[in-house]
Every structure is written in structure tokens, then in C-alpha cells.
Amino acid sequence: MIKRNVISFLLLCAGLSCASAQSSFDTWFEKKSLRIDFALSGNAENQQAALQQLREEPVWGGPVKNMTEPFDYGGYRVEVYDDAGGRLIYSRSFNTLFEEWRTTAQAGKETQSWSNSISVPFPRKEVRVVISGRNRASMKFSPLLELAVDPKSIFIDRGKLKNNNIIKAQYMGAPDEKVDLVFLAEGYTALEQEKFKADVEKFTESLFNTPPFDARRSDFNVWGVGLVSEESGTDVSGKGIFKHTALNSGYYTFGLDRYLTTPDMKSIRDAVWNVPCDAIFILVNADTYGGGGMYNFYAMGTANHPRTPVVFVHEFGHSFAGLADEYFSSEVAYDESFYHTSVEPWEPNITTLVDFNRKWKDLLESDTPVPTPTNDSNADKTGVYEGGGYLAKGIYRPKQHCMMRDYAPFCPACSRAITQMINFLADKPAR
Ligand SMILES: [Zn+2]
């Protein structure tokens, strides 16, 4: 009896908090963005954060009901608290390229500072913003930067930025109820803007031909921002090639010839200042195989290689749904500290079996052995296969083949994570 009362009480609380979440956006926020640019500096041992600038930007394309993220993802997270009551009113997790750099050999020898940027809905009242980083060995978050933000402050930059040509490639409805995917042109000159438009259409079709995105096309708006670069292409620093482009991208990230990224987060956020934006894909006008993607940061890929439409979907898996690489034999720049096998990684599609219950255990048939032998008779079986996350031992993946390993169809664990993220960003119940 007591137990039943406790359960009813909990259900009542859950119902109340859900109802209040739906009405609270307008209490706390305006449908504009507060952009927070901040530096992360440090090395393999430690990191610090410092504020660079705050900006008021005219659009909020994110959810208005799903204001706190239900996933325990990411190497970083931003939280907004009501300054008067201390209540958490917004949260979102993300990754950075700086975090990856911290696991390279270079970070064992030198200290660097990188620019980063995150947007939250624009507060109506004074709020406290906390940016936290996760320790890879303990998986615990701790605060790196705490800010008191007065929305009326004269220290918030409210200026307009460059009005780039915005392409509305697919419009399905109000941005807060849709996932707003934004393609940015990189390495396209003024004369190549029609090509960019055609490339946006090509990659949009590639995404929506791929399960589970195919069934959810109507939950997405797709935009293109026609950034104009002085020169065509991108940097290939290892071969002495440097191009003057809008977003300063290049191959040879961390010394790897096919790892294509940019550290220039400020230019990326400047490009989307007036576009609803839940996810960024940077299309690079180059023909060499390559790309990169970090969760809720950006994904990048080349437009002109025959395999790039499928590379795009793989990289988007990283940036959109926080999926880990399921391969373990390719060359990577990270040393063994990228994943610690003594703790459960946060990514939904790999496990160390430390806490498999919160992963895809419910997707296994009851007679599936854990770990699952890698053989032909298990080719289509969802299981727990050793090898993933760059390690051949101690990390397990859900299926022998998947988009996140070798461009096969997404495995059931990846598909579910993608579906949950679409639900979250389209302002539907995430799980
Ligand atoms: Zn997978």
C-alpha cells in the first residue's frame, strides 16, 4: 500500500514536470539565441575554459518543449539555471575537436587554446550558465565556466552579421517542431554557387534514402548557406596546398591525411547566425575522400568523391546522434586514452560491458551469448561483438557490420539513437 502511494506520487510529479516543461519556454526564453563563444585551452592533463563573447542572434530553431536533454551524451554540456530559484531550465551536450586533440600525442607535449561556440535560447531574465567538461577516465562532468548572464547587458553583442544567400532546400514546418539541418558551402567560389545548390540536393537525397532517416523526412527542414570562398577547394597541408576559404578547413587534422575538419568554430557560427540550426553539415568542394564529425558540433565531408554521399551519412551519424566509430583497425591519431575500458563510454552504439544495461541489451534475443561470436551464422544478428571504438579488445559493437563501421546499413542500436534524436529535436517525446 505504501509502495503504491509512492508510485502514484512519483507519477503525479512526472506528469506535472512534463506539463510545466511545455509551458515554460515562454516564461524563461524568447525565440532568439544567446550565442556563447568560449576558448578551451589545455593539454592532455587538464583543460580550462574562458568566455570570448556573448551574442544575441535573431533565430531559435531548437525545441521549445524538450528543453533539457534526456541523453547522457557528450564530452561537454551547457546548462542554464534560473538565477533566482536555481532551477535547471535548459541543457544540451556536445563534443569539440579540442577534446579529440587532447588525446593525441601532441597534447602530451604542448598546450593549446581553441575557440568553441554553443547557442542556447535567449533568456528573458537573469540566468546562470554553466559549461562543464567530462573526465574520460571517470566519465564525470565538472564545471569549466560559470557565467551570470543579464539579458539586458551592454556586453552582449547584438549586431547583424553578413547576410549570405540562404537556400531553402526543404521546408516541412515551424523550425521548433522540425530538425533544421544546415549545409554550409566551403571552398565554393562565387562562380560555384549553383554547384553548391545542386550538391545540397544530392546530399539531401542521400540522407533521406538511408534508413532510418527515410521514414522521417517530414521531420526535417533543410537549409543551405552559400558562403563564398576566395578560392576553390580546401587545404592539404601535408602536400603544401593552402586555399583561402570561408571556413579554413583542411585535411591532415592531427596529421591524418583523410581527416578533414576546421578549428574555426567562430566562422561556422557566424555563417548560421540568421538560420534555424539544429545540425550543421559543411560541404567541402573537393574531390579527395575524407571527412569528420563531432556530436552536436558539426560534420564535414567532400562533395565530389563518388563515395561521399555515404561518407556524409556516416559523419552525420557522429554529429547528429553521437554515434561512435564501430571500426577498430583503421589508422587513428588518438592514443589509448580515447576510450577507457574500465568505464562505460557515453556513445549509444559501443559498450565496454561495464554498464551494458543502459545500452542495447533490450534489443538482444534472449538466447544471444554475450559477447557474441563473430561468424557467418550471426551475420544478421544483433549481439555484442568484440572490436569497436578504435580498439580490437575490450569494446563491443552491436552488429558485425554497420554504417559506423564499414558503410553497411545502420545497426539497430544506431537506428534507435538516430530516431530518438530526431524525436528530441522535432520536439516529440524522445524515447
Ligand atoms: Zn551501429
Q: If you measure from the C-alpha of residue 176 to the centroid of ligand 1, how many angstroms do you get, rounded to a whole number?
A: 28
Shared-domain flag, residues 111 and 184: no
Q: If you measure from the C-alpha of residue 405 to the centroid of ligand 1, how many angstroms do you get, rounded to a whole number?
A: 7
State the Cα–Cα distance between residues 429 and 66, nearest whole angstrom. Answer: 8
Q: If you measure from the C-alpha of residue 272 to the centroid of ligand 1, how many angstroms do you get, rounded to a whole number?
A: 30
Shared-domain flag, residues 118 and 238: no
**252: containing domain:** 165-321
**Residue 413, pLDDT score:** 98
Q: If you measure from the C-alpha of residue 418 to the centroid of ligand 1, how many angstroms do you get, rounded to a whole number?
A: 10
State the Cα–Cα distance between residues 95 and 71, nearest whole angstrom. Answer: 13
- For residue 402, the tally of other CB atoms under 10 A from its CB is 27
Q: If you measure from the C-alpha of residue 202 to the centroid of ligand 1, how many angstroms do you get, rounded to a whole number?
A: 24
Domain boundary among 129, 157, 185: 157
Shared-domain flag, residues 39 and 92: yes
- Mean pLDDT computed over every residue of the chain: 92
Residues 54-62: what's their mean pLDDT? 97
Shared-domain flag, residues 228 and 200: yes
Q: If you measure from the C-alpha of residue 148 to the centroid of ligand 1, how many angstroms do you get, rounded to a whole number?
A: 40
In a domain, 314, yes or no: yes
Q: If you measure from the C-alpha of residue 327 to the centroid of ligand 1, how many angstroms do you get, rounded to a whole number?
A: 10
Q: If you measure from the C-alpha of residue 409 to the centroid of ligand 1, how many angstroms do you get, rounded to a whole number?
A: 8
Nearest Cα neighbor of 314 from 216, 384, 171, 418 is: 418
Q: If you measure from the C-alpha of residue 241 to the centroid of ligand 1, how many angstroms do you get, rounded to a whole number?
A: 35
Does 68 have pLDDT greater than 60? yes
Q: What is the pLDDT of residues 355-403, one digit of tens each?
A: 999 999 999 999 999 999 999 999 999 999 999 999 989 999 999 999 9
Q: Percent of the chain at pLDDT above 70?
A: 93
Shared-domain flag, residues 139 and 176: no
Q: What is the pLDDT of residues 249-271, one digit of tens each?
A: 999 999 999 999 999 999 999 99
In a domain, 171, yes or no: yes
| CATH code, domain with 190 | 3.40.390.10
128 CB-near residues (< 8 Å, 6+ apart): 80, 81, 82, 83, 86, 146, 147, 148, 149
Q: Which three cell numbers stand for residue 193?
A: 554557387
In a domain, 406, yes or no: no
| CATH code, domain with 102 | 2.60.40.3250
Shared-domain flag, residues 201 and 223: yes
393 CB-near residues (< 8 Å, 6+ apart): 341, 386, 387
In a domain, 377, yes or no: no
Structural domain count of the chain: 2
In a domain, 399, yes or no: no
Q: Which three cell numbers stand for residue 344?
A: 562505460
Q: If you measure from the C-alpha of residue 124 to the centroid of ligand 1, how many angstroms do you get, rounded to a whole number?
A: 41
Strands 156-157, 47-57: pairing is parallel
Report the predicted TM-score, pTM, of the whole model to 2 decimal places: 0.92
Q: If you measure from the C-alpha of residue 52 to the centroid of ligand 1, how many angstroms do you get, rounded to a whole number?
A: 37
In a domain, 397, yes or no: no
Domain boundary among 157, 182, 200: 157
Shared-domain flag, residues 173 and 92: no
Shared-domain flag, residues 219 and 301: yes
411 exposed, middle or buried (CB, 10 Å; 0-12, 13-18, 19+)? buried
Domain boundary among 284, 299, 321: 321
Q: If you measure from the C-alpha of residue 140 to the centroid of ligand 1, how many angstroms do you get, rounded to a whole number?
A: 25
State the Cα–Cα distance between residues 197 and 165, nearest whole angstrom. Answer: 11
Q: Which three cell numbers stand for residue 352?
A: 565496454
In a domain, 119, yes or no: yes
**Residue 339, pLDDT score:** 87
In a domain, 393, yes or no: no
Shared-domain flag, residues 179 and 198: yes
Nearest Cα neighbor of 352 from 333, 338, 332, 366 is: 338
Does 5 have pLDDT greater than 50? no
Residues 203-214: what's their mean pLDDT? 96
Q: If you measure from the C-alpha of residue 142 to the centroid of ligand 1, how many angstroms do you get, rounded to a whole number?
A: 29
Shared-domain flag, residues 40 and 24: yes
Shared-domain flag, residues 170 and 75: no
State the Cα–Cα distance between residues 268 and 266, nearest whole angstrom. Answer: 5
Q: What is the pLDDT of residues 144-186, one digit of tens each?
A: 999 999 999 999 999 999 999 999 999 999 999 999 999 999 9
Q: If you measure from the C-alpha of residue 361 to the centroid of ligand 1, how many angstroms do you get, rounded to a whole number?
A: 14
Are the CB atoms for 302 and 286 separated by under 8 Å? yes
Burial annotation 141-177 (CB, 10 A radius, 16+ → b, else e):
beebbeeebebeeeebeeeeeeebeebebbebeebbb
Shared-domain flag, residues 77 and 108: yes
